Amino acid sequence: MKEANFSSYHIRKWFYHYEETLANETGKLADGEPVKKYVIAAAIHNPLANTYSEDLSVLVENSPELGKEFGRRINEIAGDNEIISYGKAVFVGAFGEYEHGNAFLTNPAADPVRVAVGGGKSWVPSTGKVGAPGATIDVPLAHKDALYVRSHYDSIAVSFNDAPRNDEILIIWSFATRGRLHARLGGLQAKDVKGENGLV
């Protein structure tokens, strides 16, 4: 077991990624503010690597503390930029199970992040996979208060040069300040969100 350095976890490395899109793929300038996207990821030792266990509490139990730290970090790097969309993913090293990664995507881990970005009402879209360092993963994004806001369905593709190692789980959160540039497929508009039930 590697020595814990954050709650009960051993975090080897934190990653940050930032994108600011000023025009769409055809070169048409943004309809308003640019899209600003942030990714924060933590490479965490997987204590269940190479084992099967019915009990995943060693991963889940202190995950709210990780959620608080992700929330603190997004507020720190986003500054005055309001977060409108969010998403999450896990990237599990080859000696772990996909289920080990999913242990970090549960509500106990996600709720502190919701609080940090202003109390998101919508569930957080998520994905994950087992893979090797340098592979790409697409992290989903959706409106934090109303899942049916079609203009905010988006994603961000990221890779990490040395993570996840075989005995690691890479926990990834994505955030955005608005929906897609020039979204024009109709549906519920962001300005009309009620934010009552996470859907509309």
Give the residue extent of every domain in the chain: 11-192
Q: Maximum Cα–Cα distance for the chain, whole Å?
A: 52
Question: Which fold, 11-192?
Answer: 60s Ribosomal Protein L30; Chain: A; (3.30.1330)
Indicate the pLDDT class of residue 1, thresholds 50, 70 and 90.
Answer: confident
Strand pairing class (126-130; 85-92): parallel
Per residue in 25-54, pLDDT (tens digit) is 999 999 999 999 999 999 999 999 999 999
Distances (CA, A) of 178 to 23, 38, 62, 118: 14, 12, 31, 15
Distance CA 109, CA 106 (A): 6
The pLDDT tens digits for 118-160 are 988 898 999 999 999 999 999 999 999 988 999 999 999 999 9
In angstroms, the CA 194 to CA 199 distance is 9
Task: Give the chain's radius of gyration (CA, Å).
Answer: 17
Q: What average pLDDT score do residues 177-182 get?
A: 97
For residue range 46-73, list pLDDT tens digits in order: 999 999 999 999 999 999 999 999 999 9
Whole-model pTM: value is 0.95
Dihedral sign, Cα of residue 103, residue 90, residue 48, residue 72: negative
- pLDDT at position 15 is 98
H or E stretch covering 116: helix 107-116
Output the CA–CA distances (angstroms, integers) from residue 127 to 124, 138, 141, in the order listed.
10, 8, 11
pLDDT, one tens digit per residue, over 74-84 is 999 999 999 99
pLDDT band at 191 (very low <50, low <70, confident <90, very high): confident
Coil, helix or strand for 127?
strand
Q: How far apart are CA 98 and CA 149, in angstroms?
A: 29
